[in-house]
C-alpha cells in the first residue's frame, strides 16, 4: 500500500461533494469552504487533496483560485501523485482504446476529462503529437506530461498548441511551440485513405478535426454521383471525402484564404483536383449569393464553428444556426440531403433540430431525419460529465411539403 500524497487540503462545503462522488471532475469556487481552506492561499495550478466537509478524501487534483472552476479532480483517493507515473498509466489506458478503434496512428489520443486528464488534449499524427493544455494545473505539469508522452509513444516530435481562447480564463498566455524532437512541418493527417497537410502552429485547434471522422464515413451512401456543397470547409475534410466517394462535383467554401489554398493543395495531393473547387467567402453571404443565382446542390454540408461559446450566447447562436440551415435548404435540389452540425456544447441537440424544422416550415419544406450525428469514439463521452458531449448533428432528407 503506497503512502498517501502530501498535498495541501482543499475542503468543500457540506453537501458539495455529491457531484464529484457521482463521477464529475470539477469544483466551483462557491463550493469550497474558504473559511477552512482559503483559495487565496493556493497558487494557480497547485496540486491539492480534495476533501469533503468531514475531511474525508475524495481525491487528488489541482487548483486555480482565479477561475470559476477553481479545482479539477484528476485521481480518486490519495494514493497517486500528479506525476509522470500517473500520466504514463492514463496514456496507456487511452492508447489501448484508440488502437482498438483505428488501424493507423491518426486520432485524438487524449480527450481531457473523458480520459481522466482534465485540461489536456493530445492529437496524434503518425509519429508526431500535438498537445494542448487549457488549465493552469496542466500547464504547470507540462514537463511530466511531455516525459510521459515520450516514454509511452516515442514520438519524433511533440508540439504544444497552447493558443485556445479558454486559456485566458485561467490567466494563461497564448503560444505555440515545439516541445520535443524534430519540428518539420507540415504534418499529415490520414483519413478514409486520403492525406491532408496539417499545420499545428497556424491552423485551427490542434490542426485537424478528428471528431467528425465517423460522421464523414457515413457520406458514401449519399454523395455518389452527386453535386456537393461543403460550407465552412477548413482543410476540406468533408468535401474531399465526398469527392473520394464518387461525388461528381464538390464546391468547398471557407472564409480563410489559407484554408482555401490548403483545400486546393489537398485536392491535388489526393488526385481530386478535377472534381473539387474552393471558394473564399463568408458562409452566409455565399449561400445567399448561390440562392440568388439559383444554384442547386444534391448534398449540402454545414459544419460551422461554434456559434454558442457561452451560455449567454444561446439566443443569438440559436438564430444563427437556424439562418444557416435555412440558407442551406434554399440551395438544395429537390429531394436533397442536408448534413448539418453544431460543436457548441451550450446548444442542445433538441434546439438544433427545432431550428432546422422551423427553417423547413418557413420554406414550405419537409425534413426527415435519417441519421443523428455525434463525435467520433476517440472523443469518448463521460456519462457523469455532460460537457464532454458537445458535438451533435443530423443527416436529413429535405422534400417539398
Give the catalytic positions in this structure: 343
Distance CA 30, CA 226 (A): 55
Distance CA 83, CA 60 (A): 11
- The H helix count followed by the E strand count for the chain is 11, 19
Cell of residue 23, nine digits: 463521477
- What residue spans of 102-211 are helical by DSSP H? 136-140, 142-153
Strands 365-374 and 392-400: antiparallel
In sign, the C-alpha dihedral spanning 135, 137, 138, 143 is positive
Q: Residue 239 belongs to what H/E stretch?
A: helix 237-244
Count CB-CB contacts under 10 A for residue 82: 22
In sign, the C-alpha dihedral spanning 271, 274, 276, 280 is positive
Residue 286 contacts residue 214 (beta carbons within 8 Å): no
Distance CA 13, CA 140 (A): 27
Residue 257 contacts residue 282 (beta carbons within 8 Å): no
- Cell 452540425 locates to 341
DSSP reduced 3-state for 333: strand
Distance CA 124, CA 107 (A): 5
Residue 280 contacts residue 256 (beta carbons within 8 Å): yes
Cis peptide before 186 (omega within 30 of 0): yes
Residue 379 contacts residue 211 (beta carbons within 8 Å): yes
Residue 234's alpha-carbon distances to 159, 279, 373, in angstroms, are: 21, 11, 19
Q: What phi, psi does 297 have (nearest 5°)? A: -125, 145
Angle between helices 257-269 and 237-244 (to 10 degrees): 20
Amino acid at each position: 500500500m503506497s503512502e498517501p500524497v502530501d498535498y495541501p487540503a482543499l475542503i468543500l462545503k457540506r453537501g458539495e461533494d455529491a457531484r464529484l462522488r457521482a463521477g464529475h471532475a470539477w469544483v466551483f469556487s462557491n463550493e469550497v469552504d474558504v473559511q477552512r481552506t482559503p483559495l487565496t492561499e493556493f497558487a494557480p495550478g497547485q496540486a491539492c487533496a480534495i476533501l469533503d466537509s468531514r475531511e474525508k478524501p475524495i481525491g487528488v487534483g489541482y487548483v486555480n483560485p482565479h477561475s470559476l472552476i477553481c479545482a479539477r479532480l484528476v485521481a480518486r483517493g490519495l494514493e497517486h501523485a500528479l506525476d509522470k507515473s500517473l500520466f504514463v498509466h492514463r496514456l496507456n489506458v487511452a492508447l489501448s482504446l484508440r488502437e482498438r478503434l483505428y488501424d493507423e496512428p491518426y486520432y485524438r489520443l487524449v480527450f481531457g476529462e473523458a480520459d481522466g486528464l482534465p485540461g489536456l488534449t493530445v492529437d496524434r499524427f503518425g509519429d508526431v503529437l500535438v498537445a494542448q493544455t487549457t488549465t493552469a494545473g496542466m500547464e504547470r505539469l507540462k514537463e511530466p506530461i511531455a516525459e510521459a508522452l515520450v516514454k509511452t509513444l516515442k514520438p519524433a516530435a511533440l508540439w504544444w498548441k497552447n493558443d485556445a481562447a479558454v486559456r485566458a480564463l485561467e490567466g494563461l498566455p497564448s503560444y505555440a511551440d515545439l516541445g520535443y524532437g524534430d519540428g518539420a512541418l507540415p504534418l499529415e493527417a490520414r483519413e478514409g485513405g486520403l492525406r491532408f497537410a496539417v499545420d499545428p502552429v497556424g491552423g485551427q485547434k490542434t490542426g485537424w478535426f478528428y471528431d467528425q471522422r465517423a460522421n464523414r464515413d457515413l457520406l458514401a451512401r449519399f454523395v455518389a454521383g452527386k453535386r456537393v456543397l461543403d460550407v465552412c470547409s477548413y482543410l476540406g475534410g468533408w468535401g474531399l471525402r465526398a469527392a473520394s466517394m464518387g461525388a461528381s462535383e464538390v464546391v468547398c467554401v471557407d472564409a480563410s484564404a489559407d484554408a482555401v489554398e490548403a483545400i486546393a493543395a489537398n485536392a491535388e495531393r489526393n488526385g481530386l483536383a478535377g472534381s473539387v473547387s474552393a471558394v473564399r467567402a463568408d458562409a452566409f453571404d455565399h449561400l445567399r449569393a448561390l440562392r440568388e443565382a439559383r444554384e442547386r446542390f444534391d448534398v449540402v454540408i454545414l459544419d460551422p464553428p461554434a456559434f454558442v461559446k457561452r451560455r449567454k450566447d444561446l439566443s443569438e447562436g440559436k438564430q444563427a444556426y437556424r439562418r444557416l440551415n435555412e440558407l442551406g435548404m434554399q440551395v438544395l435540389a429537390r429531394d436533397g440531403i442536408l448534413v448539418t452540425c453544431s460543436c457548441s456544447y451550450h446548444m442542445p441537440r433538441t434546439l438544433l433540430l427545432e431550428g432546422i424544422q422551423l427553417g423547413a416550415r418557413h420554406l414550405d419544406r419537409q425534413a426527415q431525419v435519417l441519421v443523428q450525428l455525434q463525435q467520433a469514439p476517440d472523443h469518448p463521452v463521460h456519462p457523469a460529465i455532460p460537457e464532454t458531449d458537445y458535438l451533435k448533428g443530423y443527416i436529413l432528407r429535405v422534400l417539398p411539403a
